[in-house]
Structure 1
Amino acid sequence: MQFHFDDSTPLYQQIAAQLEEMIFTGGFDEGSQIPSTTQLSAELHINPATVLKGMNMLVDKGLVEKRRGRGMFVATGAQEKIMQARKESFYNDYVKRLVVEAHKLGINKEHLLELIERGENDGNITD
């Protein structure tokens, strides 16, 4: 994990985002235990309360579950929840704006789809 101390994003949010990314990419499998607050705070040289606040964000999202006396574990379905949240964010952050801008430029649906296909070809995107 790497942190940007000069970033305006609080450390606990950076911790939550990085742990979420690790869950999403399979760094932590569903059902597996994640490092404890104590372990992470010692490794990262960050206050345990800061680490716990980041972990609790993931608990609140239903991505991590606390098991009394055993630690924190990746919740079943966590990867799918992250995928759905990211798809919704992608729609809100990119697609809506793309459609609005295309409309302003007089680009119809068919032309927009052609541009998307062109972008796929230029970006060497494969399925």
Structure 2
Amino acid sequence: MKDDGGPLFQQIADRVADSIVDGSLAEETRAPSTNELAAFYRVNPATAAKGITLLVEQGVLYKRRGIGMFVADGARDRLRRERQESFAVRYLDPLLVEAARLGLDAGDVIDLIHRRSTDATEKE
């Protein structure tokens, strides 16, 4: 497993969550088992279990006794909302602070985004 700087169990939880957000792991379907994750990422099963436990604690996964872990109903929307809020805090708040320093209001920032988006599309 590639070291992204965070703990391995967090990286595993993030990758499972990514699969839920992008729809490749649908709600009410079985999630990969601890052993499957451990084998795939070549980590100790206890590490994989810790990542799964994190998602259970967040209400993203739940256990069906004797069957395995499943993606909770509403997990995709919950994860998307959390990630949108995180995106705003991480990227938009600093952007708006810098825009204010430069004398730009929200409309100016939106215009810049549209312009940059159009430029990027034309370069493809």
Q: Is the shorter-chain TM-score for this pair beyond 0.5, marking a shared fold? A: yes
- Determine if the alignment matches structure 1 residue 113 to structure 2 residue 75: no
- Determine if the alignment matches structure 1 residue 4 to structure 2 residue 2: yes
Which 4+ stretches in 1 moved above 3 angstroms?
Answer: none
- Determine if the alignment matches structure 1 residue 124 to structure 2 residue 121: yes
- Determine if the alignment matches structure 1 residue 46 to structure 2 residue 43: yes
Which deviates the most, 15-24 or 110-119? 110-119
Which runs of no fewer than 5 residues in structure 1 stay unpaired?
A: none
- Determine if the alignment matches structure 1 residue 78 to structure 2 residue 75: yes
Deviation at 1:72, TM superposition (A): 0.1
Which runs of no fewer than 5 residues in structure 2 stay unpaired?
A: none
Normalising by the residue count of structure 2, what TM-score does the alignment of the two structures yield? 0.89
Whole-angstrom distance in 2 between the partners of 1:16 and 1:65: 14
Whole-angstrom distance in 2 between the partners of 1:112 and 1:14: 33
Amino acid at match of 2:54: M
Percent identity reads: 41
Amino acid at match of 1:123: A
Normalising by the residue count of structure 1, what TM-score does the alignment of the two structures yield? 0.87
Q: CA RMSD in A?
A: 1.6
Aligned counterpart for 1:31 among listed residues 7, 28, 33: 28
Q: What's 1:102 paired with?
A: 99
Deviation at 1:13, TM superposition (A): 0.7
Whole-angstrom distance in 2 between the partners of 1:43 and 1:106: 50
Higher helix share: 2
